[in-house]
Amino acid sequence: MPDPVPSRRPSRGVICLVAAMLLATTGCLATPNAVVTQSFATGQFGRARVALLKSLPEQSKGTAKKPDRDYVLHRMRLAVLTLADGYPDAAQRYLEEVYEILRTQGINKDKTVASVVLNEDLKTWKGEPFEQALAFQYIAIQFAMQGSWDNARAAASNSLFYLRDFGAGKDGSRLDTQQIVDRAAQAHKQKKGGDDFLETAYTPAESNFTLGYLMTGIANQQLGRYEEADEQFAKAVTTRPAVAPLVERLKAGQYNTLLVVDYGRGPQKIATGPDNAIAKFRPHMPSGEQQLAVQVGQQVERFPVVCDVNDMAQDHMWNNLEDMRIAKSHIGSTLLAAAVVTAQYANANNSEGAAYAALGMAIAGMIAKAGAHADTRYCEAMPQRLYIAPVLVSGPGQVVELGVDGQPATRFAISGLDPPKQGAVALKYIRLVSSPEAPPWAASGQVFYSNAYAQAAEGTTLPYILGGNCVRKPSYEVLEDYQRAGFLTEMSLGELEDLYRYEEIELDDDDAGRFPGLHVLEGGRSLASPQPGTAGYARLFCQQHPPYHPKSAEVRELVSQLQASLAVGQQP
């Protein structure tokens, strides 16, 4: 008797594979960079920027075999933390690379920012419009820290692009992203041009970026373009009336130092809605109108918030609205629903062909849905708010104290400020630490280590690597200071430099804008001094660090001789 013909019932493996794929429709979402977020609480911007540099992909734009999709994001994080650590020259290269991408990405005919989406998982990150505007501001800050106000003006003005305003709902309240997406989806379902809804249903609106107007006005003022400055200042007051007293203070021109102060950790980008297709920013810390109190000598002034990043992130005008994302989400759902029906038919009718058809539809639907989830990459280096404070530094070594009203942990003492040359204005960028308690160095105000900008009032006038309190790079002038104090009287400059070479300490790591490594006071090999008036300067020089432990036999021997001489009251 012949064998029975085998049933063509689809294999259990095929059916299980279809079922498994139907369950696996959630794509991977980006998580915040812990190195960046932790630096907000600790103020360890030096370690953070060095870690970010080490993780920066080796490939360069345009020559890499595999494109760096986070090219701009990597550089924006690194540049902002490098500015916070007080090294504007080192940040310049990375900010220039960010600037080139943002500047050449194009502006639409209606003057709004251009947006190009290939696939959300393969998209080259350029940031939300508010992140781009803030990036231009950090570029302007970097130029101003170098005294280049013409370049600062150009960068600041680039942040004032037009915005896409989708208006308000029937109740008069402004539409949020979810409501706009729902309208786009409804238009798509009704086949009323839904694919173009997000490109046609808005009104181009002039920017409401108060910080952009203020920085552009300040740069114009420094360049003697007073009429243009007044126009920008007027727009700043229109967009945020609370800055009116600040504008009057700026227009009076009775300041020579401009403090730009960041505070708080900015909002986090998350995915919400069907298929996690809608991007939303969730605040990490609440907004507030607490003013920045600044004390110079006995005089205390208060300055308003000029930029609330929470507000920007939650305003639909400052967010990208990607219709491709929504279209993919709906297409994906349709294909997966069809796959379910086909799989059920295959199982009921013993149809292997239908089972494989279901598998094909599941794969297509899964790909579409995976591509539909929101891109949750964002720049974690952005603060929650920014302040601008114009102050008058009247004498050398001026100490300026500041802090956010009602937030005692934000107290910060700027040490070693000198007045800029006559007629100039110096910009200082300060990132306040967002921790329950202020670290001792933030409020110290005392310089413990002689550096490129100031000398310590107390301590042994010897190199730090020899047990002293000086971390200046060796030079004839520095060596003369040691010898006037009675130390190293028989040593030449070449011999002093050799000591640093024995210890593998770099003497030129910040020349020509090179990126300084971790400072020797924190266990690194760099002697590059961050600018006064920055968190990096305070963290390095305004607290005591552990003694240096020599690595080379030559330096260990010299340290022993110095210690023995000091112990018996002699000075070699």
CA separation for the pair 404, 94 (Å, rounded): 30
Query: Helix or strand or coil: residue 296?
Result: strand
Question: Given this model, what pLDDT does residue 469 score?
Answer: 95
Let me know: does 559 contact 456? Beta carbons within 8 Å. Answer: no
Tell me how many helices (H) and strands (E) the chain has: 20, 12
Assigned token pair, 119: 């696939």
Q: Which residue has the tokens 């030449």?
A: 492
Question: Given this model, what pLDDT does residue 61 score?
Answer: 46
Show the CA angle centred on residue 521, arms to residues 515 and 525, nearest 5°.
45
Hey, how many other C-beta atoms are within 10 angstroms of the C-beta on 153?
26
Specify the DSSP class assigned to residue 499. H
Question: Given this model, what pLDDT does residue 24 score?
Answer: 44
**pLDDT tens digits in sequence order for the chain, 572 residues long:** 445 444 444 455 544 544 444 444 444 567 888 889 888 888 999 999 999 999 888 655 444 455 678 889 999 999 999 999 999 999 999 999 999 888 776 555 666 675 543 344 446 788 889 999 999 999 999 999 999 999 999 999 999 999 989 888 888 888 887 777 777 777 766 765 445 677 788 888 999 999 999 999 999 999 999 999 999 999 999 999 999 999 999 999 999 999 999 999 999 998 877 667 777 899 999 999 999 999 998 899 999 999 999 999 999 899 876 533 543 454 445 444 544 455 555 555 665 655 555 555 555 555 555 555 677 889 999 999 999 999 999 888 788 999 999 999 999 999 878 899 988 999 999 999 988 888 999 999 899 999 999 999 888 899 999 999 999 999 999 999 999 999 999 999 999 999 999 999 998 877 767 899 999 999 999 999 999 999 999 999 999 999 999 999 999 999 999 988 877 655 44
Question: Given this model, what pLDDT does residue 22 score?
Answer: 43
CA separation for the pair 190, 187 (Å, rounded): 5
Tell me phi and psi for residue 200, to 5 degrees.
-130, -20
E strand or H helix at 131: helix 129-145
Specify the DSSP class assigned to residue 511. G
Let me know: does 559 contact 467? Beta carbons within 8 Å. Answer: yes
Question: Given this model, what pLDDT does residue 227 score?
Answer: 97
Hey, how many other C-beta atoms are within 10 angstroms of the C-beta on 249?
18
DSSP β-bridge partners for residue 398 = 417
Strands 292-296 and 299-303: antiparallel
Find, among 325, 541, 529, 571, the residue nearest to 415 by Cα: 541
DSSP β-bridge partners for residue 203 = 165
* Contacts for 336-344: CB closer than 8 Å, 24+ residues apart: 336/22, 336/25, 336/361, 336/362, 336/365, 336/366, 336/369, 338/365, 339/18, 339/22, 339/365, 340/22, 343/15, 343/18, 343/19
CA separation for the pair 215, 250 (Å, rounded): 11
Question: Given this model, what pLDDT does residue 330 score?
Answer: 47
> Domain 34-326+374-386 belongs to what topology?
1.25.40
Find, among 182, 304, 298, 289, the residue nearest to 237 by Cα: 304
pTM, full prediction? 0.85
> Domain residues of the chain, as ranges?
34-326+374-386, 464-567
Tabulate helix, strand, coil % of the chain (nearest 5): 45, 15, 40
Specify the DSSP class assigned to residue 529. P
E strand or H helix at 245: helix 244-252
